[in-house]
Amino acid sequence: MKKYLKSDLKILSVMVLCIALYFLSDDGNWQCLTEVQRVSADVRPGNVTAVLRNGVYVVSGKGKMTKKQIPNKKLKRKIKKIVIKKGVTQIPEKAFKDCRNAKIIKIASSVRNIGTQAFYNTAIKSIILPKSVKKIGWAICQECRNLNEMTLPGNLSIFNNEEFIPKMVSSCFIKKDGLKTVKRVKFSTPISPWNVIYVGDCENFEVSKSDPNYKSIDGMIYTKDGRMLVAIPYARKKVVVAEGCETVDTMSYSYTAREAIDKFNEEEIYNGCGEIEKIIFPSSLKKVTDVMAKKYWNTIYTGKNCRKNTNIQVKIKSKDLDVKSMKLLWKSNILWRKSLAKEFERLGSAKITDGMVVLSDGYLVGYIGDKSDAKLQLPNNVKIIGENAFNTSKEVTNEKFSVKSIVLCDGLEKIEDYAFDYDGLEVYCGNQSLSISEKAFWNCENYEIIRQKS
């Protein structure tokens, strides 16, 4: 009897000790010891170890942090601070994803690469990516609902994901599904203009003072001499272009952010700054260009998937804009066209007739009417019907209209690509010599050109 009792007492003692260790782990200390052993056992081959103590998850050693050092779900709930020690060169994909209680992340200057969604859905308010970082993956700070400020190198590049992740954004963070915008993004090294695409929904840019080519004024990026506007933050609501700026490139407000929708497609969730409500161009402005837009991206059409503010207000103080600049302003953002048309007319650079906007050189840039089955008579001052002028595609206009028939004027010389796009269109014209682009009626079915006697 005593023999069995002693045996039972030993078993009971072991059980009590195990239970005590389990429950005492909730204060952080006991749990750390058991978890440190479990994590460390997995990380020996890569010479990098991961340890959790008192809520601080420390990754140390030399070389790449691998998937073996990524904390499991149970550990993630206990992490309040993440420290990547000097010697670690890479943070893998999804390394600290869903560490919802992690408010602080410290990254050593030895880190070169940071994987996709590395800090996704953490509680950080700010983060500094050291100057040593050269490559980052998509959406590294997506769903970080408390994030206010981010510092990163200006010469980053993006590398492809190890696996397809649906609904993942290409930028560091994007305002969607109730998320707020980030107040400020600081660049710690000289920037490449292309890199603004990788940032996301912030309200202000801050360029390094040592940058030889660019500087920031009122949270926007300009060339060093202040004469050219390079980038407006995605989340800026009111844009006042600085006096002294002489050139605005369309890329400054039309650069693109993407979202992966399947293994073969990406959706342009932002094709232009989606928060803008008003933009004021200065009296010093002389021209609008698309040089950077063509160099860094292959389209200048905007507003496709960011139509929060569908009637952006435009104010132009300059009296020196040429017709080419006005055409680019018109093409480059479909969400400000009604306001822009009125500004052109106020400046004496255009006339609006029955919704048709005609520039001073006779170029019809577009239609801002809202008629269905409209029967239009082209104004006599029109020489060219511009590209997409009466096109109803959502990619190139924000207006809702349709045209049943149009009577061309005798002075018309040319109709450009994609000018019309509806079925059964009737086009009435005289016997004048008229150049019609091969794609002028690209999506029109059963359209008819009817010659009339003068």
Per residue in 62-112, pLDDT tens?
999 999 999 999 999 999 999 999 999 999 999 999 999 999 999 999 999
Phi-psi region at 418: left, alpha or beta (left = phi > 0; alpha = psi -120 to 50): left
> What's the confidence (pLDDT) of residue 298?
44
Instruction: State which amino acid sits at residue 340.
Output: L
Chain segment 24-47, per-residue pLDDT in tens = 433 333 333 334 434 443 444 458
Which runs of consecutive H residues, i.e. helices, occur in 44-125? 73-76
Cα 233 to the chain's mean position, in Å? 9
> What's the confidence (pLDDT) of residue 157?
83
> What's the confidence (pLDDT) of residue 178?
63
Identify the residue whose tokens are 């239970």.
19
Q: Which of 3, 37, 1 is nearest to 21 (CA)?
A: 37
Mean pLDDT for the chain overall: 84
Instruction: State which amino acid sits at residue 60.
Output: S
| CB burial readout 193-215, b (16+ within 10 A) else e | bbbbbbbbbbbbbbbbeebeebb
- Residues of the chain whose pLDDT is less than 50? 1-5, 9, 12, 14, 16-45, 261, 264, 298-305
Cα 272 to the chain's mean position, in Å? 8
> What's the confidence (pLDDT) of residue 28?
38
Cβ atoms of 188 and 150 closer than 8 Å: no
Lateral strand order in the sheet of 205-206: 126-128, 149-152, 184-187, 205-206
Structure tokens at 59: 């990754």
